[in-house]
Chains A and B, each alone.
Chain A
Amino acid sequence: MIVAEQKPLSEIKEIIALYKKILIMGCGTCVKTCFAGGEDEVAVLASALRLACKKDGKEIEIEELTIERQCEDEFIRESAPAVSRNEGVLSLACGAGVQALARRFGKTPVLPGVNTTFIGVLEKQGIFTEECSGCGDCNLAIFGGVCPFTRCAKKLLNGPCGGSQNGKCEVNPESDCAWHLIIERLRILGQMDKLRIYVPPKNWQTSLSGGPRKLVREDHMI
């Protein structure tokens, strides 16, 4: 999923400072799963903002709405009446959702309420870890299902650096060394020979270095 984190209340207050009628819009997909921008978070944030504004002596009307996915226009359209009733939209979706809303509602300011952080997994309750960079050229087959581009701080393709100790990364001892995980996994799979293969430089053309990407599926085009 795309993992995001709600911005601090103080920053959100500044972002919406110009508006007296604001719609807080949640998204029922990724950000709901990572507790950043689903229906519950919209409700909690709305209450917190109402209280904070009251304390500051600022008049504000806050409307709440959560749609299934802010990155699909089909769902976004449902929100048109609510958007038209407000001066601005505070989106709790990922950056793609914010931009999709802004594209649909060209005359309404659409503001971000969360920081989109990474594509990750729920490691355990309350802990999310980044595991994919969306590089567009997946090589997980040769790395035992652990991505070194994403999970090694130096993006090393050919084994761990000299700083790997006790299975942890030197950059952040809270993080597992990706190469330690790869080696352990290949050992279990009986594929240790893969460690001897030279991995050539990565072709970054499929990644963001080639500029914003577009995927065209002609078989699905109408």
Chain B
Amino acid sequence: MNMKVHSRLQEILSKGEFAVTAECGPPRGATPEVVRKKGELLKGYVDAVNVTDNQTAIVRMSSIAACSHLLQMGLEPVMQMVTRDRNRIALQSDIMGAYSLGIKNILCLSGDHQSFGSQPDALNVFDIDSMNLIRTVQTMREQGKDMSGFELNGPPRMFIGAAANPFADPFEYRVIRLAKKIDAGADFIQTQCIYNMDRFKEWMKMARDEGLTEKVHILGGVTPLKSAGMAKFMNNKVAGMDVPEPLIKRMANVPKKKAVEEGIKICIETIAELCEIEGVHGVHIMAIEWEEIVGQIVESAGLTPRP
């Protein structure tokens, strides 16, 4: 990365501190208080907050607007941006608009397919893919140009993130894809939720062997489980998710009212393991519609106070 990026997340990672990010899903409505409430729950516990972009293809308040609400509260957002809903013209325009509002981190994604959402009859766009989006943001930052090569008057200088799923198939290709994302311009990676630690460690080893951990900051993704049912659902129904049988059993073996506690315990254990893995530079906590638990997890994991 040549051009100076003024993101707190970037500063923390470049100093070699173990970063903590969390996720905030915008509401299905136009009420800013919902975002602010979630922001309050996360404030002081995380370095940056990912704001999802119509996740699971369900229409919500735009990521840019929700990011802006968080900014006003002094939180640093990571704007998630998917290529599903906007063509390259709209994407570039929104990247510039977001930066003009003070948004300095972006997570480039292709996005969940609309058939999983509430409006499966929608037309998808996918004009470019997530790899192309990463390269686009990088070119804007490093060369100051848009996709047409036009020199921008004040280019956006975003800290660029990408996703990686070490648990999807084909496994041997997953590191090649990571390498491609880094070449395209990714500065940091947030992974799919880690439950299968053995597989994650194997993927990390492959990444280290290719020298990738020297080039990118990897933040391991975690999602606290609430019940054995949730563990089973994620394993069986969510594509690309891998919850090993022993973990499902562990959740099932505790009394129902203790399940939440056990899920949090597993999450904290996972974070402790992540801290020990060479090349893992942080954790990304995706507590879906359960933002109030993030503070407790971060504290119990010994990751407070934040810098």
Residues of A within 8 A of B (CB): 153-167, 170-171, 177, 180, 183, 195-196, 198-202, 204
Per the bound structure, the CA–CA distance linking A154 and B88 in Å amounts to: 15
Given A154-B84, A170-B113, A159-B239 contact (CB < 8 Å): no
Check B168 against A160 for contact (C-beta < 8 Å).
yes
Check B179 against A201 for contact (C-beta < 8 Å).
no
| Majority SS at the chain A contact face | loop
The reply on B73 being an interface residue by CB < 8 A is: no
- A-B pairs with CB below 8 Å: how many? 94
Per the bound structure, the CA–CA distance linking A171 and B129 in Å amounts to: 17
The reply on B147 being an interface residue by CB < 8 A is: yes
Per the bound structure, the CA–CA distance linking A28 and B96 in Å amounts to: 54
Please indicate the chain B residues that have their CB under 8 angstroms from the CB of A204 in the complex: 127
Please indicate the chain B residues that have their CB under 8 angstroms from the CB of A177 in the complex: 169
The reply on B240 being an interface residue by CB < 8 A is: yes
Per the bound structure, the CA–CA distance linking A97 and B52 in Å amounts to: 46
Given A155-B129, A180-B170, A201-B132, A162-B163 contact (CB < 8 Å): yes
Partner of A159, one of B128, B135, B176, B240: B176
Please indicate the chain B residues that have their CB under 8 angstroms from the CB of A157 in the complex: 129, 131-132
Given A162-B192, A196-B179, A198-B180, A154-B129 contact (CB < 8 Å): yes
Check B132 against A158 for contact (C-beta < 8 Å).
yes
What are 22 contact pairs spanning A and B, CB under 8 A? A154-B110, A154-B124, A154-B126, A156-B110, A156-B126, A157-B129, A157-B132, A158-B132, A158-B177, A159-B131, A160-B169, A161-B168, A163-B113, A165-B239, A167-B169, A170-B239, A171-B116, A183-B173, A195-B173, A196-B179, A198-B180, A199-B131
Residues of chain B in range 167-189 having any CB-CB distance to chain A below 8 Å: 167-170, 173, 176-177, 179-180, 183-184
Per the bound structure, the CA–CA distance linking A106 and B160 in Å amounts to: 58
Q: B149-164, CB under 8 A of A: which get 1 and which 0? A: 0000000000000011
Please indicate the chain B residues that have their CB under 8 angstroms from the CB of A199 in the complex: 131
Per the bound structure, the CA–CA distance linking A171 and B240 in Å amounts to: 12
Check A155 against B179 for contact (C-beta < 8 Å).
no
Of all A-B residue pairs in the complex, the 6 with the closest CB atoms, nearest first, are: A162-B165, A170-B239, A158-B131, A163-B239, A162-B240, A155-B126
Partner of A200, one of B84, B132, B163, B169: B132
* Among A157, A162, A164, A165, residue most surrounded by chain B Cβ atoms (within 10 Å): A162
Known: A156-B126, A163-B113. 19 other contacts (CB 8 A): A153-B115, A154-B84, A154-B126, A157-B131, A158-B177, A159-B176, A160-B177, A161-B110, A163-B168, A164-B169, A164-B239, A170-B113, A180-B169, A180-B170, A196-B176, A196-B179, A200-B135, A201-B136, A202-B127
